[in-house]
Structure 1
Amino acid sequence: MEPITTPDLSSRPHGFKVERKMKSSPEVLFKAWTEKFDEWFASPGTLIMKAEVNSVFFFETVFKTELDNVEQRHPHYGRFLRLTPDQLIEFTWLTGAAGTKGAETVVTIELQPKQDGTLLSLTHKGFPDEESKSRHDSAWEMILEHLDEKMMENM
Protein backbone atom coordinates (compact mmCIF):
# COMPACT_ATOMS: atom_id res chain seq x y z
CA MET A 1 0.00 0.00 0.00
CA GLU A 2 1.26 3.47 -0.86
CA PRO A 3 0.90 6.40 1.56
CA ILE A 4 -2.02 8.72 0.89
CA THR A 5 0.37 11.68 0.77
CA THR A 6 3.97 12.30 1.69
CA PRO A 7 5.06 15.61 3.18
CA ASP A 8 6.63 18.18 0.87
CA LEU A 9 9.96 18.86 2.58
CA SER A 10 11.35 21.14 -0.16
CA SER A 11 10.92 24.31 1.92
CA ARG A 12 12.37 22.64 5.03
CA PRO A 13 15.80 21.26 4.05
CA HIS A 14 17.19 20.67 7.55
CA GLY A 15 17.86 17.05 8.45
CA PHE A 16 20.44 14.55 9.67
CA LYS A 17 21.34 10.88 9.82
CA VAL A 18 22.39 8.88 12.88
CA GLU A 19 23.82 5.37 12.73
CA ARG A 20 24.28 3.01 15.62
CA LYS A 21 25.38 -0.60 15.92
CA MET A 22 22.59 -2.20 17.97
CA LYS A 23 22.91 -5.43 19.94
CA SER A 24 19.36 -6.59 19.10
CA SER A 25 18.25 -8.30 15.88
CA PRO A 26 16.33 -6.47 13.14
CA GLU A 27 13.19 -8.45 14.14
CA VAL A 28 13.38 -7.24 17.75
CA LEU A 29 14.02 -3.65 16.69
CA PHE A 30 11.20 -3.63 14.12
CA LYS A 31 8.76 -4.77 16.84
CA ALA A 32 10.15 -2.16 19.23
CA TRP A 33 9.27 0.62 16.75
CA THR A 34 5.91 -0.80 15.63
CA GLU A 35 4.44 -2.77 18.55
CA LYS A 36 6.34 -2.01 21.75
CA PHE A 37 6.88 1.73 21.48
CA ASP A 38 5.51 2.34 24.99
CA GLU A 39 8.01 -0.10 26.49
CA TRP A 40 10.97 2.15 25.69
CA PHE A 41 9.86 5.57 24.39
CA ALA A 42 6.24 6.64 24.87
CA SER A 43 4.91 7.32 28.36
CA PRO A 44 2.91 4.30 29.53
CA GLY A 45 -0.81 4.60 28.81
CA THR A 46 -0.45 7.30 26.14
CA LEU A 47 0.23 5.24 23.02
CA ILE A 48 -2.31 4.87 20.21
CA MET A 49 -0.58 3.04 17.36
CA LYS A 50 -1.36 0.50 14.66
CA ALA A 51 1.59 -0.31 12.42
CA GLU A 52 0.00 0.01 8.99
CA VAL A 53 0.77 2.38 6.12
CA ASN A 54 -1.54 5.44 6.37
CA SER A 55 -2.40 4.65 9.99
CA VAL A 56 -1.99 7.56 12.40
CA PHE A 57 -0.45 7.37 15.85
CA PHE A 58 -0.27 9.47 19.00
CA PHE A 59 1.81 9.29 22.16
CA GLU A 60 3.34 11.51 24.81
CA THR A 61 6.74 11.69 26.40
CA VAL A 62 7.16 13.23 29.82
CA PHE A 63 10.47 14.64 30.97
CA LYS A 64 12.12 17.55 32.73
CA THR A 65 15.01 19.58 31.34
CA GLU A 66 17.51 21.58 33.39
CA LEU A 67 15.36 24.66 32.76
CA ASP A 68 12.05 23.14 33.88
CA ASN A 69 10.82 23.09 37.47
CA VAL A 70 8.27 20.37 36.76
CA GLU A 71 7.95 17.55 34.25
CA GLN A 72 6.55 18.62 30.89
CA ARG A 73 4.23 16.60 28.64
CA HIS A 74 5.24 16.44 24.98
CA PRO A 75 2.57 15.13 22.58
CA HIS A 76 3.77 13.48 19.34
CA TYR A 77 1.68 12.73 16.27
CA GLY A 78 2.46 10.90 13.07
CA ARG A 79 1.45 8.40 10.42
CA PHE A 80 3.19 5.47 8.86
CA LEU A 81 4.45 6.00 5.29
CA ARG A 82 6.39 2.78 4.59
CA LEU A 83 6.82 -0.50 6.45
CA THR A 84 8.97 -3.43 5.35
CA PRO A 85 9.12 -6.00 8.16
CA ASP A 86 12.53 -6.21 9.85
CA GLN A 87 14.06 -3.79 7.31
CA LEU A 88 12.39 -0.38 7.05
CA ILE A 89 10.08 1.89 9.04
CA GLU A 90 9.15 5.35 7.79
CA PHE A 91 6.73 7.71 9.46
CA THR A 92 5.90 11.35 9.89
CA TRP A 93 6.77 13.00 13.20
CA LEU A 94 5.04 16.15 14.41
CA THR A 95 5.46 17.90 17.76
CA GLY A 96 4.88 21.35 19.20
CA ALA A 97 6.97 24.44 19.88
CA ALA A 98 9.77 22.63 21.74
CA GLY A 99 10.07 19.95 19.03
CA THR A 100 9.39 20.20 15.31
CA LYS A 101 7.54 23.50 15.85
CA GLY A 102 4.43 22.04 14.23
CA ALA A 103 6.24 20.91 11.07
CA GLU A 104 5.47 17.43 9.75
CA THR A 105 8.94 15.87 9.58
CA VAL A 106 9.86 12.41 8.28
CA VAL A 107 11.77 9.70 10.16
CA THR A 108 13.23 6.78 8.18
CA ILE A 109 14.72 3.82 10.03
CA GLU A 110 16.73 1.24 8.12
CA LEU A 111 17.70 -2.05 9.77
CA GLN A 112 20.63 -4.07 8.38
CA PRO A 113 21.51 -7.39 10.03
CA LYS A 114 25.06 -7.70 11.25
CA GLN A 115 26.78 -10.75 12.72
CA ASP A 116 26.01 -9.88 16.32
CA GLY A 117 23.14 -7.41 15.98
CA THR A 118 21.92 -4.70 13.64
CA LEU A 119 23.16 -1.54 12.01
CA LEU A 120 20.34 0.95 12.60
CA SER A 121 20.32 4.06 10.38
CA LEU A 122 17.88 6.79 11.38
CA THR A 123 17.31 9.73 9.02
CA HIS A 124 15.14 12.60 10.27
CA LYS A 125 14.40 15.42 7.84
CA GLY A 126 12.05 18.29 7.20
CA PHE A 127 12.88 20.55 10.14
CA PRO A 128 11.88 24.21 9.83
CA ASP A 129 15.21 25.48 11.22
CA GLU A 130 18.67 24.53 12.43
CA GLU A 131 17.65 24.82 16.11
CA SER A 132 14.94 22.15 15.99
CA LYS A 133 17.18 19.92 13.82
CA SER A 134 20.07 20.15 16.29
CA ARG A 135 17.83 19.44 19.27
CA HIS A 136 16.53 16.26 17.65
CA ASP A 137 19.97 15.19 16.39
CA SER A 138 21.40 15.10 19.92
CA ALA A 139 18.21 13.55 21.36
CA TRP A 140 18.12 10.64 18.90
CA GLU A 141 21.64 9.59 19.92
CA MET A 142 20.49 9.17 23.54
CA ILE A 143 17.17 7.60 22.52
CA LEU A 144 18.87 4.91 20.40
CA GLU A 145 21.24 4.09 23.24
CA HIS A 146 18.22 3.75 25.56
CA LEU A 147 16.42 1.54 23.01
CA ASP A 148 19.44 -0.74 22.76
CA GLU A 149 19.61 -1.11 26.55
CA LYS A 150 15.85 -1.72 26.96
CA MET A 151 15.70 -4.38 24.25
CA MET A 152 18.66 -6.23 25.76
CA GLU A 153 16.92 -6.20 29.18
CA ASN A 154 13.82 -7.80 27.59
CA MET A 155 15.71 -10.63 25.87
Structure 2
Amino acid sequence: MTDARPPRLLFVCLGNICRSPTAEGVMRALAKRDGVVLELDSAGTGAWHIGEPPDRRMQAAARAAGYDFSDLRARQAVAEDFDRFDLILAMDEENVAALERLRPAGNDTPVRLMLSHGTSGRREVPDPYYDGGFDAVLRMIEEAAEGLLAQLRKER
Protein backbone atom coordinates (compact mmCIF):
# COMPACT_ATOMS: atom_id res chain seq x y z
CA MET A 1 0.00 0.00 0.00
CA THR A 2 2.74 2.45 -0.89
CA ASP A 3 1.56 3.80 -4.24
CA ALA A 4 -0.10 7.19 -4.76
CA ARG A 5 -3.72 6.04 -4.65
CA PRO A 6 -5.54 5.78 -1.34
CA PRO A 7 -5.64 2.39 0.37
CA ARG A 8 -8.82 0.47 -0.47
CA LEU A 9 -10.36 -1.44 2.44
CA LEU A 10 -13.34 -3.79 2.55
CA PHE A 11 -15.03 -4.72 5.83
CA VAL A 12 -16.95 -8.01 5.84
CA CYS A 13 -19.44 -9.70 8.16
CA LEU A 14 -22.23 -12.17 7.62
CA GLY A 15 -25.16 -10.03 6.46
CA ASN A 16 -23.60 -6.57 6.07
CA ILE A 17 -26.16 -4.91 8.35
CA CYS A 18 -24.42 -4.81 11.77
CA ARG A 19 -20.67 -5.22 12.14
CA SER A 20 -19.23 -4.44 8.70
CA PRO A 21 -21.23 -1.27 8.02
CA THR A 22 -20.29 -0.14 11.53
CA ALA A 23 -16.63 -0.70 10.72
CA GLU A 24 -17.00 1.18 7.45
CA GLY A 25 -18.84 4.08 9.12
CA VAL A 26 -16.43 4.32 12.05
CA MET A 27 -13.40 4.16 9.77
CA ARG A 28 -14.86 6.88 7.52
CA ALA A 29 -15.34 9.16 10.52
CA LEU A 30 -11.88 8.50 11.97
CA ALA A 31 -10.16 8.96 8.60
CA LYS A 32 -12.02 12.23 8.05
CA ARG A 33 -11.11 13.39 11.55
CA ASP A 34 -7.43 12.69 10.88
CA GLY A 35 -7.38 13.88 7.25
CA VAL A 36 -6.53 10.41 5.92
CA VAL A 37 -7.87 9.53 2.47
CA LEU A 38 -9.17 5.98 2.17
CA GLU A 39 -11.50 4.13 -0.16
CA LEU A 40 -13.89 2.12 2.00
CA ASP A 41 -16.73 -0.33 1.50
CA SER A 42 -18.44 -3.15 3.34
CA ALA A 43 -20.10 -6.39 2.33
CA GLY A 44 -21.60 -9.57 3.70
CA THR A 45 -20.77 -13.16 2.91
CA GLY A 46 -24.50 -13.92 2.85
CA ALA A 47 -27.19 -12.52 0.56
CA TRP A 48 -30.11 -12.21 3.03
CA HIS A 49 -30.05 -8.42 3.41
CA ILE A 50 -28.90 -7.11 0.01
CA GLY A 51 -30.12 -3.53 -0.45
CA GLU A 52 -31.16 -3.07 3.18
CA PRO A 53 -29.87 -0.29 5.47
CA PRO A 54 -27.87 -1.15 8.58
CA ASP A 55 -29.81 -2.74 11.45
CA ARG A 56 -31.81 -0.07 13.29
CA ARG A 57 -30.34 -1.16 16.66
CA MET A 58 -26.80 -0.80 15.33
CA GLN A 59 -27.67 2.59 13.87
CA ALA A 60 -29.08 3.71 17.24
CA ALA A 61 -25.87 2.70 19.05
CA ALA A 62 -23.81 4.46 16.38
CA ARG A 63 -25.90 7.65 16.50
CA ALA A 64 -25.51 7.77 20.28
CA ALA A 65 -21.73 7.68 19.76
CA GLY A 66 -21.79 10.36 17.04
CA TYR A 67 -21.72 8.22 13.88
CA ASP A 68 -24.21 8.19 11.04
CA PHE A 69 -24.01 5.47 8.42
CA SER A 70 -27.71 5.29 7.62
CA ASP A 71 -26.92 5.86 3.93
CA LEU A 72 -25.12 2.51 3.58
CA ARG A 73 -26.85 -0.44 1.92
CA ALA A 74 -25.98 -4.11 2.26
CA ARG A 75 -24.33 -5.99 -0.54
CA GLN A 76 -22.78 -9.41 -0.88
CA ALA A 77 -19.04 -9.92 -1.23
CA VAL A 78 -17.98 -11.11 -4.68
CA ALA A 79 -14.79 -12.61 -6.08
CA GLU A 80 -13.99 -9.32 -7.84
CA ASP A 81 -13.59 -7.66 -4.44
CA PHE A 82 -10.23 -9.39 -4.12
CA ASP A 83 -9.00 -7.36 -7.10
CA ARG A 84 -10.71 -4.12 -6.06
CA PHE A 85 -9.38 -3.91 -2.49
CA ASP A 86 -5.91 -3.87 -0.92
CA LEU A 87 -7.05 -5.35 2.39
CA ILE A 88 -10.17 -7.23 3.42
CA LEU A 89 -11.11 -7.15 7.10
CA ALA A 90 -13.43 -9.87 8.36
CA MET A 91 -15.31 -9.68 11.63
CA ASP A 92 -14.89 -13.36 12.54
CA GLU A 93 -13.29 -16.64 11.47
CA GLU A 94 -16.50 -17.86 9.81
CA ASN A 95 -16.31 -14.91 7.44
CA VAL A 96 -12.59 -15.42 6.84
CA ALA A 97 -13.38 -19.00 5.74
CA ALA A 98 -16.23 -17.84 3.48
CA LEU A 99 -13.96 -15.22 1.91
CA GLU A 100 -11.21 -17.77 1.32
CA ARG A 101 -13.71 -19.96 -0.55
CA LEU A 102 -14.54 -16.94 -2.71
CA ARG A 103 -10.90 -15.98 -3.38
CA PRO A 104 -9.88 -16.26 -7.05
CA ALA A 105 -6.97 -18.59 -7.79
CA GLY A 106 -3.65 -16.79 -7.60
CA ASN A 107 -4.99 -13.75 -5.74
CA ASP A 108 -2.95 -12.67 -2.70
CA THR A 109 -5.07 -9.85 -1.24
CA PRO A 110 -4.71 -10.11 2.55
CA VAL A 111 -7.77 -11.12 4.58
CA ARG A 112 -7.38 -10.29 8.27
CA LEU A 113 -9.57 -10.24 11.31
CA MET A 114 -10.70 -6.71 12.19
CA LEU A 115 -9.74 -7.10 15.83
CA SER A 116 -6.18 -8.05 14.90
CA HIS A 117 -5.63 -4.28 14.70
CA GLY A 118 -6.80 -3.67 18.26
CA THR A 119 -5.41 -4.32 21.70
CA SER A 120 -8.37 -6.06 23.34
CA GLY A 121 -6.91 -9.54 22.96
CA ARG A 122 -10.16 -10.70 21.35
CA ARG A 123 -10.02 -12.27 17.90
CA GLU A 124 -13.60 -11.94 16.73
CA VAL A 125 -16.26 -9.25 16.79
CA PRO A 126 -19.38 -11.00 18.11
CA ASP A 127 -22.51 -10.76 15.99
CA PRO A 128 -25.07 -8.67 17.92
CA TYR A 129 -27.97 -9.48 15.57
CA TYR A 130 -29.62 -12.09 17.83
CA ASP A 131 -27.94 -11.57 21.21
CA GLY A 132 -27.59 -7.78 21.39
CA GLY A 133 -24.53 -5.97 22.66
CA PHE A 134 -24.52 -3.31 19.95
CA ASP A 135 -22.73 -0.74 22.15
CA ALA A 136 -20.00 -3.24 23.05
CA VAL A 137 -19.55 -4.19 19.38
CA LEU A 138 -19.26 -0.52 18.45
CA ARG A 139 -16.55 0.01 21.09
CA MET A 140 -14.59 -3.04 19.86
CA ILE A 141 -14.75 -1.78 16.29
CA GLU A 142 -13.75 1.76 17.29
CA GLU A 143 -10.68 0.52 19.14
CA ALA A 144 -9.60 -1.74 16.27
CA ALA A 145 -10.27 1.01 13.70
CA GLU A 146 -7.97 3.38 15.63
CA GLY A 147 -5.24 0.73 15.49
CA LEU A 148 -5.82 0.09 11.80
CA LEU A 149 -5.69 3.79 11.01
CA ALA A 150 -2.42 4.14 12.93
CA GLN A 151 -0.96 1.23 10.96
CA LEU A 152 -2.08 2.73 7.64
CA ARG A 153 -0.46 6.06 8.52
CA LYS A 154 2.84 4.27 9.23
CA GLU A 155 2.69 2.45 5.88
CA ARG A 156 2.11 5.63 3.84
Structure exhibiting the larger radius of gyration computed from Cα positions: 1
TM-score with structure 1 setting the length: 0.32
Higher percent of residues as helix:
2
From the two aligned structures, give the one with the greater strand fraction: 1
**TM (normalized to structure 2)?**
0.32
